[in-house]
Structure 1
Amino acid sequence: MGITLEVPTNTADQPRDFPSGVADGAHPAPGEDRAAHLTGAELAGQLIGDARQIRVLTGDRPTGALHLGHYLGSLRNRVRLADAGAELFVLVADYQVITDRDASASIADHALGLVADYLAVGLDPARSTIFAHSAVPALNQLLLPLMSLISVPELERNPTTKAEAAASGRPALSALMLTYPVHQAADILFCRADLVPVGKDQLPHLEVTRTVARRFNTRYAPVFTEPKALISDAPSVLGSDGHKMSKSQGNTIALQAGADETAAIIKGFKTDTDRHITYEPEHRPEVSNLVLITALCRGEDPQTVAEQIGSGGASALKQAATEAVNEHLRPIRARRAELAGDRGYLSAILRRGAERATVEAEATLAQVRAAMGMAY
């Protein structure tokens, strides 16, 4: 049986609204809209019956292999929603690669690698629309009217854009990087997504989407849903250096990594000098990060895991984390290795997804043009 949020059914003329939420134990930052957040726990508490009314937009830039942070932070939620009956649009955001780097010959390999990762973790291409950005012209055309709804100063103040620009190492901000949040808004709004699984660092981008949708609905006609962020149980998984796990930082555990490689990486994770293991994210972030990773891979509570390890120290914690990660990812890695050898099949999935996304994008663009008085 599927599950669904208790919300009105969407129509072309009536944007949907959803129950509110905020990250577990957290408070919204100044200026944040608490009603725009929904955690995995809150989602579970509000879902009943049938999830087929819910649309989810999610995706990744094809800049390298997906890793454990992606899996715990987003991929598991995607599979859970799809299995519940929600309609997923999964974006391979190839155009967004060139926001902060030069396009490379490896982009096709990375794009197909993403598809392999998606299927390996459990996404079913028959029930999810997996497509590449560059293959859906109508989606990208939607960017033009949306850009008229937000100012340059608003984009310049976006903290996520600032951080991404700084991390790129480029001397100047490209126009594409500056408008990155609006491009993401087009990605989300073209299919009128209700939920967007994100980490906390992506919340400012989603606020831009909500702002753009609200302004369009007010200025022209109520076409767009104001989507909610679905915050995961692991919104910010730390890597081996104690910073957020990130492909650009080289501190990750790739989903396709072998068991021995995983063990070597976890052995190098930062902890602290207190031998007794506790779960205190605020005071012991590195130790708590390994506890949380272990707990999520085992399907247990972090406090329980910490109590089990107790005075075993960092060595016992890292051993437990290694065993939990390798055991949990073992079938995923086997499936991915099998899929990676069939590039034709992976490409076919992207082509079929692009066809489905194009139908959706062209319909939305037609509504937008009609609302703006441009249907001639």
Structure 2
Amino acid sequence: MRSPCNHGVETDPSGDPVNTAVPQTEDAGAAACAGPTDALGTSAAQARSAALEELIRTDPGRFRVLTGDRPTGRLHLGHFFGTLHNRVRLQELGVELFVVIADYQVLTDRDVADNLLQHVEELVLDYLAIGVDPARSTIFTHGAVPALNQLMLPFLSLVSVSELNRNPTVKDEIAHSRQSAVSGLMFTYPVHQAADILFCKANLVPVGQDQLPHLELTRTIARRFNDRYGAGSAVFPQPDALLSSAPLLLGTDGTKMSKSRNNAITLAATVDETARLVKGAKTDSERHISYDPATRPEVSSLLLLAALCQGRSPEQVAADIGSAGAAALKKVVTESVNEYLAPIRARRAEYGQDRAHLRAVLSEGNERARAVADATLAEVRAAMNTCY
């Protein structure tokens, strides 16, 4: 295993001297987040992601990934097919993986962080159950890594208030905030995410299209820090976006799948809970089952879920069901999900019997993350000439 502490001003995650972590054509990385076709640069990011996938297959050791979740509840199938299985895929390919449990970010849109310890342990349990290996990947929490959070102070000096104000993701978060008044933490949210990514010098960040503005701000911060303090050296890489091709799964009520809406099948759900949730899922009145996301979104989402679990196309699943109706569709979905999740649930139950092991995994991950963050902060202080 590569040491997560093996970082210098001009090294990649393997410790070999390089000029940049990922070879790029002129402004290729910037184009990934600011392409000419739309505001988010989606087309350019998709093209760049395809090129990155090829690089990952040929030389995975040159990449370090930062990803993570807020501990606000148990993870569900939307998370699994959206991001979790991709983390394990990258890990198995040989990419170094840092997974942050973003406990501080819970407070961005909530007055208090309820049941935080329980939620953190549940996340660790889910990670282990799906195959994240703590011997090869680093699982840690914000709160346990002071140097990471300290990086936010110099980073905030590199962005303007107007830049934070016009971030579309921040605008959306504010619009859906649970707080009566938005806290200052909401505006620093994207800068905190930049600290998450840059503290370990991650050069690859799996994101959805809506997260591209956040990553572009991270790239801007890295570039401005290097220009202002780097003295010709790249202290931080400008991380690339690895765009997710994750399918959109609706919740059982036909709206966005969400922890807070109680419309999702969690990885921890029992066989009976899964059957109950699927039985209550919204469909339509047409008896013939067909895959048509535009006009039959609820039926199509169920077909897609079954197809993902079976490793087939949703059209094939629909053809098997034919005119048997919604009851037959739900039966197929229930059986497919329960069969697919059976080994994950078995591992989860096994790991869940030893809570001390969960805490040990987190403690070891926190220690590794602290060593990386301390080294990075020392480098930042040296670059800023603030070593007193």
- TM band (smaller chain): 0.7 to 0.9
Q: How does 1:127-166 map to 2 (within 5 A)?
A: 127-166=136-175
2:300 aligned with 1:291: no
Q: Distance in 2 between matches of 1:142 and 1:253?
A: 37
Q: How does 1:154-233 map to 2 (within 5 A)?
A: 154-221=163-230, 222-233=234-245
Q: What is the TM-score of this pair, normalised by structure 1?
A: 0.88
Partner of 1:4: none
CA RMSD of aligned residues (A): 2.7
Cα offset for 1:105?
5.4
Letter in 2 for 1:16: A
2:68 aligned counterpart, secondary structure: strand
Equivalent residue in structure 1 for 2:369, among 357, 364, 368? 357
Contact 2:40–2:213 (Cα < 8 Å) also in 1: no
1:52 aligned counterpart, secondary structure: helix
Partner of 1:76: 85
Return 14-23 or 116-125, whichever deviates more: 14-23
Q: What is the TM-score of this pair, normalised by structure 2?
A: 0.85
Letter in 1 for 2:65: V
Cα offset for 1:129?
0.5
2:275 aligned with 1:268: no
2:97 aligned with 1:88: yes
Contact 2:21–2:63 (Cα < 8 Å) also in 1: no
Return 294-303 or 282-291, whichever deviates more: 282-291
Q: Which consecutive unaligned segments of at least 5 residues does structure 2 have? A: 1-9
Cα offset for 1:39?
9.1
Q: Distance in 2 between matches of 1:303 and 1:151?
A: 49
> Structure 1 pair 259/153, CA: closer, same or farther in 2 (3 Å)?
same
2:315 aligned with 1:303: yes
Letter in 2 for 1:248: S
Q: What are the superposed Cα offsets for residues 133-190 of structure 1, whole Å, 9 maximum, x if unpaired?
A: 1011110011111111222222222222222233333222111111111101100111
Letter in 1 for 2:106: V
> Structure 1 pair 104/48, CA: closer, same or farther in 2 (3 Å)?
closer
Contact 1:39–1:232 (Cα < 8 Å) also in 2: no
> Structure 1 pair 44/344, CA: closer, same or farther in 2 (3 Å)?
same
> Structure 1 pair 49/314, CA: closer, same or farther in 2 (3 Å)?
same
Q: Which consecutive unaligned segments of at least 5 residues does structure 1 have? A: 1-7
> Structure 1 pair 304/28, CA: closer, same or farther in 2 (3 Å)?
farther
Letter in 1 for 2:164: L
Equivalent residue in structure 1 for 2:21, among 6, 16, 21? 16
> Structure 1 pair 151/40, CA: closer, same or farther in 2 (3 Å)?
closer
Cα offset for 1:341?
2.4
Partner of 1:370: 382
Q: What are the superposed Cα offsets for residues 242-282 of structure 1, whole Å, 9 maximum, x if unpaired?
A: 22211122221111001111111122222334433333334
Equivalent residue in structure 2 for 1:241, among 227, 245, 253? 253
- Compare CA radii of gyration and give the structure with the larger one: 2
> Structure 1 pair 93/274, CA: closer, same or farther in 2 (3 Å)?
same
Contact 2:152–2:191 (Cα < 8 Å) also in 1: yes
Contact 1:79–1:122 (Cα < 8 Å) also in 2: yes
Cα offset for 1:321?
1.6
1:179 aligned counterpart, secondary structure: helix
Cα offset for 1:372?
2.5
Q: Distance in 2 between matches of 1:283 and 1:161?
A: 31
Cα offset for 1:236?
3.3
Contact 2:108–2:186 (Cα < 8 Å) also in 1: yes
Q: Distance in 2 between matches of 1:237 and 1:338?
A: 28
Letter in 1 for 2:203: D
Contact 1:52–1:85 (Cα < 8 Å) also in 2: yes
Partner of 1:335: 347
2:39 aligned with 1:30: yes
Q: Distance in 2 between matches of 1:49 and 1:338?
A: 35
Contact 1:38–1:231 (Cα < 8 Å) also in 2: no
2:170 aligned counterpart, secondary structure: helix
Equivalent residue in structure 1 for 2:68, among 56, 59, 66? 59
Contact 1:38–1:229 (Cα < 8 Å) also in 2: no
Letter in 1 for 2:21: R
> Structure 1 pair 307/335, CA: closer, same or farther in 2 (3 Å)?
same
Letter in 1 for 2:268: Q
> Structure 1 pair 79/99, CA: closer, same or farther in 2 (3 Å)?
same
> Structure 1 pair 273/44, CA: closer, same or farther in 2 (3 Å)?
farther
